[in-house]
Amino acid sequence: MPAPETPSHDCPLCPRLMAYRLENRQKWPGWHNGPVPCWGPSEARLLVLGLAPGVRGANRTGRPFTGDHAGKLLYATLLKYGLAEGEYREDPQDGMELRGVRIINAVRCVPPENLPTPAEITTCNRFLLAERLAMPQLRVVLALGLVAHNALLKTHRIPAARFKFAHGAQHALPDGLVLADSYHVSRYNTNTGRLTTEMFETVVRQILPLLA
């Protein structure tokens, strides 16, 4: 199977995100400052779908959820349930490896204020679709938040109203894929208690039988 279409490091498709990228390159020339690639094997059965890179996290390190608060709960949980091996040290050189899981964001470039526009989400959806189609053994997509949930549905051309986001829900899509929902593992959600460690672990634990 050919490699899926991916955005170039200087992707020009979203003018606002491109301008913000150039601004960040001026401030921090040693950072990644570009579309963040997916991480994990393409033969994975589980795809974890986030929103977008954090400016001081994946935008800095070049690896999804690496270097910001959201990665702490995500990777601790993947390690706990055997979906990753090694030790997460908030560094892409930490040697940690994913096992049967691939990680991607609905929008590959960091957006100002951590919030992409609907047009940017739609523009970047072509890359999410390409990744999904390039995963022949994919069984479950774990959507972290409403934007990720809707972005996955968009790759199927399914209206968002047909499968409504709800933390802990599992939706059986027409092609046999299961869309599982969780609140995003963001600092805001974990600090406010909207998402606890136990809540997120329960979501992941309920996915495991679907991957067997």
**Strand ranges inside 3-138, DSSP E:** 46-50, 84-85, 97-98, 101-105
What whole-number distance in Å separates Cα of residue 31 and Cα of residue 116? 20
Under the banding of pLDDT at 50, 70 and 90, the label for residue 4 is: confident
What whole-number distance in Å separates Cα of residue 90 and Cα of residue 87? 9
For residues 78-91, average pLDDT: 96
pTM of the model: 0.96
Q: What is the structure's pLDDT at 2?
A: 63
For residues 57-62, average pLDDT: 97
Please state, in angstroms and as integers, the Cα–Cα distance from residue 192 to each residue in 40, 57, 163, 196, following that order.
Answer: 30, 20, 26, 9
What whole-number distance in Å separates Cα of residue 28 and Cα of residue 23? 9
For residues 141-154, average pLDDT: 98
Percent of the chain surpassing pLDDT 70:
99
Q: In which order are the strands placed within the sheet that holds 170-172?
A: 101-105, 46-50, 140-144, 178-182, 170-172
Under the banding of pLDDT at 50, 70 and 90, the label for residue 181 is: very high
Listing DSSP states for 150-200 in one string gives HHHHHHTT--GGGS---TT-EEE-TTS-EEEEE----HHHHHHTSS-HHHH
Q: What is the structure's pLDDT at 136?
A: 96
Q: What is the structure's pLDDT at 109?
A: 98
